[in-house]
Amino acid sequence: MSVNNTPRVDLAVIADLISPKARVLDVGCGDGALLDLLEHDKGVDGRGIEISQRGVNECVARGLSVIQGDADSDLIDYPDKGFDYVVLSQTLQATRNPKLVLDQMLRIGDRAIISFPNFGHWRVRLSLLLKGRMPVTKDLPYSWYDTPNIHFCTIRDFVHLCEEVGATMESARALDANGQKIGLSMPWWFWNFFGQQGVFLLRR
């Protein structure tokens, strides 16, 4: 979550997917906003991993159980099914090996929750079509050469990845720029065009 300036409109949607008192690991927990929300509102037993030391120190100072670590290399240390939910919010596109990370999440957690910016959103498509340059938007403000987002995908791409790693989709949502769920009964192509973010609840 500390990767982009994306407003955390997905937090409430993610929190909705999590049952009270659950054991939750938030991978890329940033300043701990989601963990804080979950601990206060749902009484969860929350843990976090965050790559930036500054984020970690902020989390610990506000009383959260957070360690400095990297989604790509450190998930391997956690035991099988140690958590009810493993959350990866706005971080998938910044990992070196998204497939491996997803695989580890499904191993560690009973369920995995992933949210990510949809690179198939019409604004992104339009920007590339008209300007012919890699899109730089309000929410994804980096130029191609200095972006931490090295593995962008569209909602459709992600659905493919889920099939490849053998994940079952329990729930899928597309959110607009304000975090509102859009067209629940709409087909994938619609979400892939109008969804600013995708939020998925997976299990294996």
| Single-letter residue type at 24 | V
Return d(Cα 189, Cα 108) in angstroms, integer.
31
Site string for another protein, 77-96 (x = CB under 8 A): xxx--x--------------
| Contact letters for another protein, residues 36-55 (x by CB under 8 A) | ---------x-x-----x--
Please, which residues have CB within 8 angstroms of residue 8's CB and are 6 or more apart in sequence?
1, 33, 34, 89, 90
Which of 15, 17, 33, 67 is in the footprint of another protein by CB under 8 A?
67
Q: How far is the CB of 57 from another protein (least distance, A)?
A: 5
Looking at 66, 92, 112, 199, which residue binds another protein (CB under 8 A)?
66
Nearer to another protein, 111 or 121 (CB): 111
Judged by beta carbon, residue 78 or residue 194, the one nearer another protein is 78
Number of residues that bind another protein (CB under 8 A): 21
156: Cβ–Cβ under 8 A, 6 or more apart, which residues?
Answer: 120, 188, 189, 192
From 63-71, 113-121, 156-164, 172-180, give the range in contact with another protein by CB under 8 A. 63-71
Is residue 57 a contact point for another protein (CB under 8 A)? yes
Q: 118 burial class (0-12, 13-18, 19+ CB within 10 angstroms)?
A: buried
Tokens of 56: 């970690």
Which of 18, 38, 4, 10 minimizes the C-alpha distance to 180? 10
Tokens of 108: 């560690």
Q: What CA–CA distance (Å, rounded) separates 135 from 58?
A: 32
Supply the minimum distance, in Å, between the C-beta of residue 60 and another protein: 5
Contact residues toward another protein (CB under 8 A) are 45, 47, 53, 56-57, 59-69, 74, 77-79, 82
